[in-house]
Amino acid sequence: MTDSSKLLSRMATILVFAFPVLILCVPRGAGVFLAGVGVLALLGWRGMGRAWREYSKVLTPLAIAVLAFMLVYVGSKLYFHTPWNVIDNPSRTLLAVLTCWVIARTAPDPARLWQGITVGLCLALLIVLWQKFYLGAERPSAFVQAIAFASMVAALALVGFARPGHNRTANVIAWFNIVCALLILMLNGTRGALLAMLVTLMPMLLVRYRRFSIRMFVVAAVSVAVLGAVAYVVPGSPLGKRVDDVVSEVRQFDQGSPESSIGARLMMWGAGAQYFASHPWTGVGVGQFARIVQATPYCAQIHDPVRRSQSIVCILEHAHNDIVEAAATTGLPGLLTMLGLFLVPAALFVHTLRKSRAMGNAQGIHLAGAGLGVVMASLISGLTQVTMAHQANVVFYAGLIGLLLGMAGREAHSARTDAV
């Protein structure tokens, strides 16, 4: 390795370590990470072509998935003559390809990602505690929108849980990441993110514990259940209160009022599903879900602008559900390509996991397992939010998938090369 390559590798390692801290704890940290990836691509441009050829089995399918997604969304924008800014957030999915490409080129140390996650979660917990008890924030979320912040915390905790090492210290740090995230989510109060983390944690036990027995599974499952119960029963827990609110909000919706978090979602999902059924190929246009909401009988009958602006339902601009949003705005093509952003990386992680396992590469196994955890948690979180609605959320998902795929692909490739 030349001196310039070593320097690039060190710079990439620093960026990998900083990623969780930037995303969770720094205002506009997602933009800083994006800029860092761009700088590495420019500095390492001479070897980018070779890196693409060497890791094409990972990069090419990922690029096809992202470009297909972008093609549908740009096509929807042109067909409906909507403003170009509706493409702003979706276009950031290109970061997944660029990040994976840069990581394949620069070869950072994967161990720094696990360290950065623990540091990032600890700092995020301190920020959230300060915002909750000193500033009095109802749903503290550092410097990001509350739901997006919670989803990022859950996903990073799962990656931290999948860290390599099976000794006592490694296991303690892995569970510490989960507990730290649990405390953050309790203070933040986002129900979907907690559910995503706890549900995904069950299959992630197979990554954390290689020699998995029935007894160990029962103990671990009980531990996960206890974590969830603690988050609910702790006195004063915002999460516990929000879980209790679910029953009353569903009852309120049944009585004809959607003016609640759950009620608004149920009404929007129903309206979005109906619009998709009547416009299955085109939808209403990318970024135009608010038109569907405004056309519902409930919102159409509210003529007073002040009253309408005070409505929880009628001011919402997206469906709070990835599937409903994609189907209702871009039709079946948009739905399929949106799902491709999750399922194609999942298939690539499975492929690299099998390669690493066959070659006995523990680092590769844990990186690929972590990637599968991120995809699963993101899909579950996407049932109550829209990934493309928040810039930080898009950059987070694309950046983390790119980091993990790039490093997992390198590990699988090096294991194969060593075997030859």
Residue 320 — left, alpha, or beta (φ > 0 → left; ψ -120 to 50 → alpha)? Answer: left
Q: How far apart are CA 23 and CA 359, in angstroms?
A: 33
Residue 27 has pLDDT above 90, yes or no: yes
**23-32, 95-104, 309-318: range with lowest mean pLDDT:** 309-318
The pLDDT value given to residue 219? 72
* 121-147 confidence digits (pLDDT tens): 999 999 999 999 999 998 999 999 999
pLDDT top residue among 219 and 412 = 412
pTM: 0.94
DSSP conformation letters of 93-157 = THHHHHHHHHHHHH---THHHHHHHHHHHHHHHHHHHHHHHTS--SS--TTS-HHHHHHHHHHHH
Average pLDDT over residues 98-109: 96
Phi and psi, residue 69, nearest 5°: -60, -50
Q: How far apart are CA 160 and CA 114, in angstroms?
A: 6
User: Residue 419 — very low, low, confident or very high, per pLDDT cuts 50/70/90?
Assistant: very low
Percentage above 70 pLDDT, the chain: 95
Residue 20 CB: number of other CB atoms within 10 A? 29
The pLDDT value given to residue 227? 75
pLDDT top residue among 218 and 325 = 325
For 8, how many CA atoms within 13 A lie in the half-sphere containing its CB?
A: 23
* 341-357 confidence digits (pLDDT tens): 999 999 999 999 999 88
User: Residue 234 — very low, low, confident or very high, per pLDDT cuts 50/70/90?
Assistant: confident
Q: Are 68 and 339 in contact (CB under 8 A)?
A: no
3-state secondary structure of 383: coil
Q: Are 90 and 69 in contact (CB under 8 A)?
A: yes
- How is residue 92 annotated by DSSP? T
The pLDDT value given to residue 13? 97
Q: How far apart are CA 299 and CA 295, in angstroms?
A: 7
Per-residue exposure over 292-312, b if at least 16 CB sit within 10 Å of its own CB, e if not = bbbebebbeebeeeeeeeebe
User: Residue 167 — very low, low, confident or very high, per pLDDT cuts 50/70/90?
Assistant: confident
DSSP conformation letters of 347-380 = HHHHHHHHHHHHHT-HHHHHHHHHHHHHHHHHHH
SS (H, E, C) 242-269: HHHHHHHHHHHHHCCCCCCHHHHHHHHH
Q: How high does pLDDT run on average in the chain? A: 90
Q: Are 158 and 374 in contact (CB under 8 A)?
A: yes
**Residue partners of 154: CB distance under 8 A and separation at least 6:** 181, 185, 193, 194, 196, 197, 200, 377, 381
3-state secondary structure of 281: coil
User: Residue 420 — very low, low, confident or very high, per pLDDT cuts 50/70/90?
Assistant: very low
- How is residue 291 annotated by DSSP? H
pLDDT top residue among 178 and 228 = 178
User: Among 295, 197, 288, 294, which Cα is nearest to 239's?
Assistant: 197
Residue 323 tokens read as 């599937």
* 358-401 confidence digits (pLDDT tens): 888 889 999 999 999 999 999 999 999 999 988 999 999 999 99
Give me the helices (H) in 189-321, please: 191-208, 214-233, 238-254, 261-278, 289-294, 297-300, 305-309
